[in-house]
Each structure stands twice: as structure tokens, then as C-alpha cells.
A and B are shown apart, each in its own frame.
Chain A
Amino acid sequence: MRVRWFHGWIGSIAFTVLCGVSTASAADTGAIIRSLLLPGSGQAQQGHYTKAAIFAGAAVVTGVGLVLSQVHYNQAVERFNGLRETYVGYEGNLQEGTVVPYSEITGTYSDMQDAYDDSETRETWRNTFMVAFIVTYAANLVDVILSEPDTGERQREAPVGMELRGNDIRLYGTLHF
């Protein structure tokens, strides 16, 4: 299941990039490759520094979260599997004639249940970070493919302007991304 999942989203990203590269101009290809290697860097090359910072920050946060949550999940699984092995082993011990305290059996069962719940919680966190990372990465690629390089012309416009239309005065604002 996990293997299919990884292949699925890696395939999706590869497909998006290939489509993007095939439709983008030669000048944009460099930006796409940059964004593929480091989210936000393609936007920075295109001159969209705010978006570059947002994508880079989101990728770092979700990436670090993904790695940490994966490590914690591995630890929780390892703990659960160890307790499970001990608990299942009691059956064989009892059949072989080894005396096992009842409190030890129930205590191990309780610990195993806690470890299982803990691993489920950590798995949810891992999956959440995984989805967030994939969404960030994909959005970063889609954005860099669809965005035009910022020539700086728009930035020369005043953020707030005013124009006369007949007897009316029109006030307008411009936002840059």
C-alpha cells in the first residue's frame, strides 16, 4: 500500500513536470527545474519573491514535519511490535510450563494497546505531513509552470492610484504576488 502511494505521488509530480516542461518556453524550463529541486527557487528566478518565500517555507516546514513524524512513527511501531512479540510469546511460555504472573500479562496487554494507539496517532500525523508536503510540492510546480516571469513593469506602478473619469474620481489599488 505504502509503495503504491509513493509511486502514485512521485508519478503525479513527474507527470506534472513533464507536461509543464513540454508546454513551457525554454526560458521557463530552468525555473521549473529549480522548483523541482527546491520549491520556491523557480519562483525566485521568475522574480516572484513573496511566493518563493511562501513555497520554500511551506516545503521546509512540511518536509521537516514529514521526516520527524516518520521517525516517531517508526519508533512507535518498533515499540508496539516488541510488546506484541512479548504478549504473543506468553501463550507458548504457558504451554511449555513456564509460570507467568497474570499481572504481567495484563500489564503487557495494556502497554501494547497504548503503543498501538500511539502508533496510529503518529501515523495520522505522518500522513498529514505527507499530504501537506505533496500539496506544497505540486502547487509549487503548477505555479512555476503557469506563472510568467516578472519583468518588473508592474512593480513600477504605484500601489494606489487615482484617475479622473468625467466628473468622477476613481481610486484603485494594485497588489503584486
Chain B
Amino acid sequence: MILGLLAVTFASFSCEERQDFPQLLNVSAPPEPFNLTITSPAPQQYDLAWEISDPAAVKLYRVYIVSFGTAELVGTADTTQFLAQTILPIQGIVFGVSAVSTENVESDLATAVAP
């Protein structure tokens, strides 16, 4: 019993102290792109266009190819348009676009399937 007490005492002293709960970070949600449309002017070429509610709050846009629940970054754009190219023709390719705010916070993806 004494050994048990000592073990508990030792465990209590050696454990990590719980730190204070931190303050909420002063970041706001960036506007999310919407009305993402994809046209294919040529084989394996995809012209993406989208809209944004507050362009002034956006530093850049990120374009992804979404497959099997993961998003792979294709490129970035300063405007609400992007021309993507693939090496091989892919049926039903899904593109995603997010907005990155001036605070470097990224919005959720707006997705659309390429024709």
C-alpha cells in the first residue's frame, strides 16, 4: 500500500501539467468561392471560372484535383479564372477551388465535375 502511494505520488509529480485554455485566435472565415464552372476548350484542358462574394478579402485562390477524398494542389490563381491541363485524359475529373484570405486562412473547397 505504501509502495502504491509512492507510485501514485510519483506519477502525479512526473505527469505533464495541464496548461491554460488559450484565447480564441483572431482569424475570420474567408469567403468561399461559388458557382464554379468548368469548360473543356480542348482535350485534357479545363477552363475553370468561379465567383466570390468579397474579392477584397482574398489574397489568392488555390485549385485542386479532388479524388478519393484527397485534394492535390494543381496551382494558384490571382483572379477568378484558371486554366488546368492534365497529361492523360481523365473521365469525371473533379476540380476544387478555395480562397486564401489576406490572413493566410484557406476557405472550404467549391467543387465541380469537369465535362
Contacts and interface: CB of A to CB of B under 8 A. Distances in A.
A84 B16 contact: no
Interface stretch (B4-12, B35-43, B44-52, B79-87): B4-12
A18 interface: no
B108 A102 contact: yes
Nearest to A95: B104
Interface stretch (A22-30, A65-73, A154-162): A65-73
A77 B27 contact: no
> Taking chain B's interface residues, is the majority helix, strand, or loop, or is none over half, making it mixed?
loop
Interface in A88-111: 88, 90-91, 93-94, 97-103, 105, 109
B15 A102 contact: no
Contacts, number: 85
A37 B2 contact: yes
B91 to A, nearest CB: 28
B71 to A, nearest CB: 10
Contacts of A37: 1-2
A15 interface: no
Nearest to A2: B12
Interface of A: 2-3, 6, 36-39, 59, 63, 66-67, 70-71, 73-74, 77-78, 80-81, 84, 87-88, 90-91, 93-94, 97-103, 105, 109, 112, 116, 119, 123
